[in-house]
Amino acid sequence: AQSVTQPDIHITVSEGASLELRCNYSYGATPYLFWYVQSPGQGLQLLLKYFSGDTLVQGIKGFEAEFKRSQSSFNLRKPSVHWSDAAEYFCAVGAYNQGGKLIFGQGTELSVKP
Amino acid sequence: TAGITQAPTSQILAAGRSMTLRCTQDMRHNAMYWYRQDLGLGLRLIHYSNTAGTTGKGEVPDGYSVSRANTDDFPLTLASAVPSQTSVYFCASSEIRGSSNQPQHFGDGTRLSIL
């Protein structure tokens, strides 16, 4: 069965600093991988997805993520964080031939210092 | 704006009462999902439906039921609410094309408190 681990429950970075949010997954084959962002009181918004091909994927709002099969990781990065990036971030994994079901990580809450 | 509409946005319910959370999508997606979100646990799948007329159990289905009479609507029912069902509930939809896994689109959630 698939599983997703986000090791960091809460991260604080200064505005303008770089950001990396970690995501590790467990799945026997090539997974489908997603990052979502959730602002307070809102639903989840898709940041980016990896299905196949180029392992570095670009998303919205200046985010990118890199799929590393050898490390079973799909870390989210942003070179310069803005105060509006403060939110909760979820990594999710889907499996081939299991419909659209996703398994979500526990989430990482990002705070941004002025 | 196209998307997913959930109702109500919030509700306080007495234990033992029944409640139906509504979810409607206008994207004509074939698949729909219900999740609950609890602090420290992320989102957990309650039930899903890959197409109208079919439903399946997710990770935490006990105490909940769903139906999928048509493409657009996917209501979630709590037959006899218990305090442990206090949570934020999210409905989502996606398009399933063969074996591929398209991104899910989410509603804004229903905050439910069981007293």
**pLDDT tens-digit profile of B25-40?**
999 999 999 999 998 8
In sequence order, what are the residues at sequence separation of 6 or more whose Cβ sits closer than 8 angstroms to the Cβ of residue A67? A33, A50, A55, A56, A57, A73, A74
Characterize B8-33 residue by residue with b for buried, 16 or more Cβ atoms within 10 angstroms of its Cβ, and e for exposed: eeeeebeeeeebebebbbeeebbbbb
Tokens of B66: 């769903």
Cβ atoms of A109 and A88 closer than 8 Å: yes
pLDDT at A29: 75
The answer on pLDDT for B75 being more than 90 is: yes
In sequence order, what are the residues at sequence separation of 6 or more whose Cβ sits closer than 8 angstroms to the Cβ of residue A105? A4, A5, A6, A23, A90, A91, A92, B42
- Cα B14-B17-B22 angle, rounded to 5 deg: 100
Tell me what percent of the residues of chain B surpass a pLDDT of 90.
84
pLDDT at A40: 87
The answer on pLDDT for B98 being more than 70 is: no
B51 CB neighbour count, 10 Å cutoff:
14
Q: Tell me the pLDDT band of B8, cut-offs 50, 70 and 90.
A: very high
Cβ atoms of A44 and A87 closer than 8 Å: no
**Average pLDDT value for residue range B61-70:** 97
The answer on pLDDT for B106 being more than 90 is: yes
| A101/B45 CB distance under 8 A | yes
Q: Does B22 touch chain A (CB under 8 A)?
A: no
Contacts B43 to A, Cβ<8 Å: 44, 90, 104
The answer on pLDDT for B100 being more than 80 is: no
**Average pLDDT value for residue range A20-37:** 90
Characterize A54-86 residue by residue with b for buried, 16 or more Cβ atoms within 10 angstroms of its Cβ, and e for exposed: eeebebeeebbbbbeeeeebbbbebeebeeebb
pLDDT at A97: 65
> In a 10 Å sphere around its CB, with 0-12 CB exposed, 13-18 middle and 19+ buried, how is residue B109 labelled?
buried
Q: What is the DSSP letter of A17?
A: S
With tokens 């941004």, the residue in question is: A112
Beta pairing partners, A66 = A56, A75
Q: Does B103 touch chain A (CB under 8 A)?
A: yes
Cβ atoms of A27 and A95 closer than 8 Å: yes
**Average pLDDT value for residue range B86-90:** 97
More confident residue, B4 or A98: B4
Residue B85 φ/ψ region, left for φ over 0, alpha for ψ in the -120 to 50 degree band, beta for the rest = alpha
**Average pLDDT value for residue range A49-57:** 89
Question: In this complex, which of A32, A51, A90 lies closest to B43 when CB atoms are compared?
Answer: A90
What's the whole-number average pLDDT of chain B?
93
pLDDT at B1: 60
| A43/B4 CB distance under 8 A | yes
d(CA B26, CA B54): 19
pLDDT at A31: 85
Contacts A95 to B, Cβ<8 Å: 101
The answer on pLDDT for B2 being more than 70 is: no
- Mutation site for B-interface testing, chosen from A10, A36, A102, A103 by largest number of B Cβ within 10 Å: A102
**Average pLDDT value for residue range A9-21:** 97
Question: In this complex, which of B92, B96, B105 lies closest to A99 when CB atoms are compared?
Answer: B96
* Residues B93, B43, B58, B23, CA torsion sign: negative
**Average pLDDT value for residue range A93-101:** 76
- Mutation site for B-interface testing, chosen from A10, A101, A108, A109 by largest number of B Cβ within 10 Å: A101
Q: Does B97 touch chain A (CB under 8 A)?
A: no
Contacts A6 to B, Cβ<8 Å: 42
Supply φ then ψ for residue A85, to 5 degrees. -80, -10
pLDDT at A100: 75
